[in-house]
Amino acid sequence: MGHVFISCCETDREFADNLRKSLEFHEISVWAPDRETTAADAVEQMVQRAVEGAVAVIVVLGTKTMNDARVQGQIKAALKVQKEKRKTKSGDESLYPVFPVLLEGVSATAVELFFRVEVKGVPVGPGGIAEAMPLILAALGERKEGAPLPMLRPQSEPLEELVLELTFPRMVEINNQRRAQADAKLLYVSEVAGKRDVQSEEVFEFTVPLGPIERDRLKWYLEHYYKWPVGVFKQRAEATEADLPKWGRELYDAVMNESSVRTVLNLWKNATDTAARRFTVFADPRMKKGTKAVEKAEANEAATLLLTLPWELIHDGRSYLFQGAGGGAGKTALAQYP
């Protein structure tokens, strides 16, 4: 079997990576953008080749997918390839399956908005990927629906987690610009036997260091540059790439340079090589009882801005903190209190 292509938006990338691992455990080859693309690659052409060369396409549909033009473009490209392939095989519906995996909060009725055709999606319930895997394998034609999976499961690694908790988010005005701000603390949480959880000594004030201009440039680079990776757009992208370490350092200084967090950060950075590492940002927009509606709205706005910051770019002046060698590439995750 050739490779399966997984399409997802940035916020669902961790789920897509776990899905890839589960599929590879079942000896299914997977191509996922986060594994083979870099900032300098001609992303659009590479993705197009991967879609055309795939034997199936899985689309991870989350609540943020609706606004992701990249995923919508990949769905369109996959359906076009599917139509062409099936045309040559007399409408064989088992050829080149394209189907969505529906994350929590996405209903089956939403599928038509993305696919414009009748497609059966695979819902992911409380049991997660493990529970949904039989249906996913059946949709890929790798297993009959309802057939049992082998009892063997991949051995999970213990997790070393660095958690940034952001509470009481609010909007403030700095130099005539609205910035998100929150109370913050850093926690080290370990699943390794014998290690204890540690949190920063004091709560500190975190203010978003990147203004609207920087955020707009980054949004364009991540969401639109791949469409026109040539000419003046390439020059604009190169200028943005040159600023990524600087923006990452500003984020680092705003969080990691607080004296109260250094012990926590060093514990995580020196975690054992046998454990997986992850950095999680948790934003809690809940306010005290009796808070005015306008303040609640501002808290939700601030929480959204905090979660959409480019946390994976945090740079300590030498390297990106959550990328790199030595297993040190901690994956980033985002969470918001419901």
Per DSSP, what are the bridge partners of residue 335? 282
How many angstroms separate the CA atoms of 69 and 116, rounded? Answer: 15
What 3-state class would DSSP assign to 307? helix
Q: What was the pLDDT predicted at 32?
A: 58
What are the residues whose beta carbons fall under 8 Å from the beta carbon of 55, sequence distance 6 or more? 1, 2, 3, 4, 96
Residue 199 per-residue DSSP state: E
pLDDT on residue 172: 93
CA atoms within 13 A on the CB side of 93: 5
- Do 60 and 10 contact (CB within 8 A), yes or no? no
CA distance 82 to 324: 37
- Confirm if 298 and 171 have CB atoms less than 8 A apart: yes
**Each residue's pLDDT expressed in tens, for the chain with a length of 338 residues:** 578 999 988 888 888 888 988 888 888 888 755 444 444 444 567 778 888 888 999 999 988 777 788 888 899 899 999 988 888 776 676 788 999 999 887 877 777 777 766 788 888 887 788 888 888 988 888 765 455 544 444 445 677 888 899 999 999 998 888 999 999 999 988 877 677 788 888 899 999 998 888 888 888 887 777 667 778 888 888 999 899 999 999 999 998 877 778 888 888 888 766 777 788 888 887 777 777 888 888 888 888 888 878 887 888 888 877 653 333 344 554 444 44
According to CATH, where is 3.40.50.10140 located in the chain? 4-139
Task: Check if CATH label 3.40.50.10140 holds for domain 4-139.
Answer: yes
Amino acid 183: pLDDT: 94
Number of residues written out for the chain:
338
Q: What is the DSSP string of 209-242?
A: ---HHHHHHHHHHHHTGGG--SHHHHHHHHHHHH
Dihedral class, residue 334 (left if φ above 0, else alpha if ψ from -120 to 50, else beta): beta
Tokens 């396409």 correspond to 57
pLDDT of residue 157: 65
In terms of pTM, does the model score above 0.75? no
Phi, psi of 215 (to 5 degrees): -65, -40
Whole-angstrom distance, CA of residue 33 vs CA of residue 3? 13
Instruction: Kindly tell me the sign of the dihedral angle through the C-alpha atoms of 310, 314, 319, 324.
Output: negative
SS3 89: coil
